[in-house]
Structure formats: structure tokens, C-alpha cells
Structure 1
Amino acid sequence: MTESVMTKQVLSKSLIELCRYKRFEKITISDITQLCGLNRQTFYYHFSDKFDLLNWTYQQTAIHYLKDDVTLENWHDHVLKMLQEMQTNAAFYRNTVQDESALLANQFSTITCDLFLELFNRLDNEQRVSQTDRLFYATFFSYGCGGMLIAWIAAGFKEDAKELAASFARLAKDTEKLAYQLYCEIEN
């Protein structure tokens, strides 16, 4: 691990710790650097602002579960790991989403959009639906998933992570099933 990554992790851990008892919008760069014993110049060498740090922290703590080798078949397992990580740092996610929900929603939506696009491409191997429409459908579903994730966090993680992960997985599977049924009806 490089020194740069280690420094970023130290800053990230400070942000997570501060969010345990302080709203994200109230946290300053000075708060972050004082907690970890670094100076502001070091912070700005690695991040442009606290939103850049927040984005990086989301990537490192939760979103990374959805980055590598995620397929529709293993989607449930990866989402569950991400949701459980979010519950582990519940105060951090609650405080940051309360003040800045778009960052996390956009990261999650971007990844889910790719998965839904993969699903629609797989289902429409005869290219009956235009690429533009497939992209629209994938984007639509992904924003819904992002909204559900933010709502789950904002509600205080009331629904069990396993149940929410299962709901996300069922959405993809049921979409696949319904599309196949529609295809069969059209063919007959």
C-alpha cells in the first residue's frame, strides 16, 4: 500500500469518526485534519474538498463491493456485503446522506445501471429494443435502486440488510422473468 493511500485512509477514518457525532455539513477540513494529526496542506494534496473525501470514502468502504466481478448471478451477495458495511458505520452513512445524498445515490445508480443494461442486453439478444430504450430502462431502474438505498439509510436501517439485498436481487430476477414471458407471448 502506498503512502498516499495510507494518508487517504487516515483522513477517511477521521471523517467516519467525526460523523459519529457531528453532521457532515458541520464538519470542516480543520476538524478532519486535527483529529488525525495532519495539516490542511496534506489534506488538499490528496483531496480537493470534503466532498471529494466523502466520495473516496464511499468507494473504499461500501461501493467497492459492487466494483469487481459483480454479475446478475452474484449481485445479491455483493449488495448484502455493501449493506452490512453501511450498517456497521450507520452513523456515518446517516449523517452524510442527511446532508449529501446525491453522491452515494449516483455512485450506486451508476453501478446498478451497468448491471441492468447487462440484463436487458442479455434478454434482448435479437435487438428488438433499441439501445436507447435499453439504456433508458436501465437508468430508470438504477435510479429507483439508488432511491431505495437512500431511503433505507434515512429511515435508520430499519429493514434487515438481507431483506433489502434480496429485494434488489428479486427486482433483477423478476424483470428477467417478466421480459421472458412477454417475449414468449409475442412469439406465439
Structure 2
Amino acid sequence: MSQKLDRRKKYTRKVLKDSLITLLANKSLSSITVKEICELADINRSTFYTHYTDHYDLLHKIEDEITEDMNRYLHSYDYEKEEESLQMTEKILEYITENRLMFQTLLNHQSAPTFEKRLMDLTRNFMINTWPRANELRTEESKYLSSFVISGAIHVIKEWIAQDLKESPREMAEMINQFINNGLSYFE
């Protein structure tokens, strides 16, 4: 019986998340109501409130889930090894591909103004703590360098999504890693 409830709970949360993302693709978060989310999800409002306090809480939980997934991917590979770094980037890009609408919507500042910053903070902390040469830099340099690299990668990913994911996750992972590792010398 509890397994049935767990499946139902997972289903309810999934349709509520999907409904919010669908609405966010066309409207700002502040103009969305719980009633609209529930109507689109075909869930009653009391059920919504058993899972979330409001639509801001729902968005925060979506962001938490993505952050946890991304963190797991980041820490499941040895970043210092070139091949594993490439695999990690590819795995993250595959995750983005599988959740394209969600990332396209959440990386839009009008839809979810905090999401990109959360991704920046997560990857910055990872980079500073795992990049072998980070210790050689002053704290400020390390922060600026990580911001430069991560914001560049995020904007490349946003452009990739806008271009209908023309390249495969593997091709994009190779490109991003080349940009990070070789910078402007990539074009020489």
C-alpha cells in the first residue's frame, strides 16, 4: 500500500512541476497562481498544499532537485583526469537534453531569476575545491576565473538550447572542455 502511495505522490509532484514549468515558459512567476498550476495539472488545490506551501516553494523544490542532480554528477567523476572531466560534462549535457524545456525555462531570468545564480554557485564551489591550480591563485583571482569560466559555459549551453541542441552532448562537452582548457588559443 505504501508503495502505491509513493508512486501517487511522485506522480502528483511530477505533474505539478511540469505544470509550473509549462506556465513559466509563457509567464513570470509572480503572475502565476496556484489555481492555474492545479488546473493544468488536474490536481485539486488541497493536494497541492499537502506538498508545497505556494508556487515559489514549488519552484524552489524544482531548483533543489536539479542542484542535487548536478552536484551528484559533478562529484561522481575525477575532474583532474581529462577523460573523466569530459564524461562529467557530457553527462550534465545529457541531463540538460533530457530536461530541455525545464532548463530553457529556468535559465530565462524572467522565469526563474535565482536559478542561474544557484548553478553558478554550485559549479564555482566545485571548481574552486577540485581544480588543482586553484590553490596557486589568490582568492579573488580564483573567484573571478571560476565566474568567467562558468558563466561562459552556461551561456554556451543557453545558446546550444536556443539552437535546438544541434550538436550532440558529446560534441558540446568536447567543445566546452576545449574552451575551458585552451581559451582563445583554441582558435589558433
TM-score tier, shorter chain, comes to 0.5 to 0.7
2:16 to 2, 14, 17: 14
The separation in 2 between residues aligned to 1:56 and 1:18, in whole angstroms, is 15
1:161 aligned to which of 169, 173, 188: 169
For 1:125-136, list aligned pairs within 5 A.
127=136, 129-136=137-144
In the alignment, does 2:106 pair up with 1:105? no
Residue equivalent to 1:90: 100
- Answer yes or no: is the 8 Å Cα contact 2:24–2:111 preserved in 1: no
Q: Aligned-pair distance for 1:16? A: 2.4
Q: Deviations over 1:118-159 (max 9, x none)?
A: 465x2366x4x3222122211221111122222222332223
Give ranges in structure 2 of 5+ residues lacking alignment: none
TM-score by length of 2: 0.65
- TM-score in terms of structure 1 length: 0.65
Whole-Å separation in 1 of the counterparts to 2:52 and 2:65: 15
Aligned equivalents of 1:96 and 1:24: distance in 2? Answer: 12
Q: Quick check: 142-151 or 20-29, which moved more?
A: 20-29
Q: Percent identity?
A: 13
Q: Which residue of 1 aligns with 2:181?
A: 173
The alpha carbon displacement at 1:163 in A equals: 1.2
Say if 2:21 and 2:102, in contact at 8 Å, map to a contact too: yes
**What amino acid does structure 2 have at the position aligned with 1:130?**
R
Q: How does 1:21-170 map to 2 (within 5 A)?
A: 23=25, 25=27, 28-34=33-39, 35=41, 37=43, 39=46, 40-45=48-53, 48-59=56-67, 63-72=70-79, 73=81, 74-98=84-108, 99-100=110-111, 102-118=113-129, 122-123=132-133, 127=136, 129-170=137-178
Residue identity opposite 2:43 in structure 1? G
Deviation of 1:20 after TM superposition, in Å, equals 5.7
Between Structure 1 and Structure 2, how many residues are aligned?
Answer: 173
* Equivalent AA in structure 2 for residue 83 of structure 1: L
Structure 2 CA distance, aligned partners of 1:15 and 1:91?
12
Could you list the per-position Cα deviations for residues 52-107 of structure 1 after superposition, in whole angstroms to 9, with x for gaps in the alignment? 133134336x5244343343232322222222222223333334434436444223
Aligned-pair RMSD on alpha carbons? Answer: 3.9
Partners of 1:80 and 1:173 in 2: how far apart?
Answer: 15
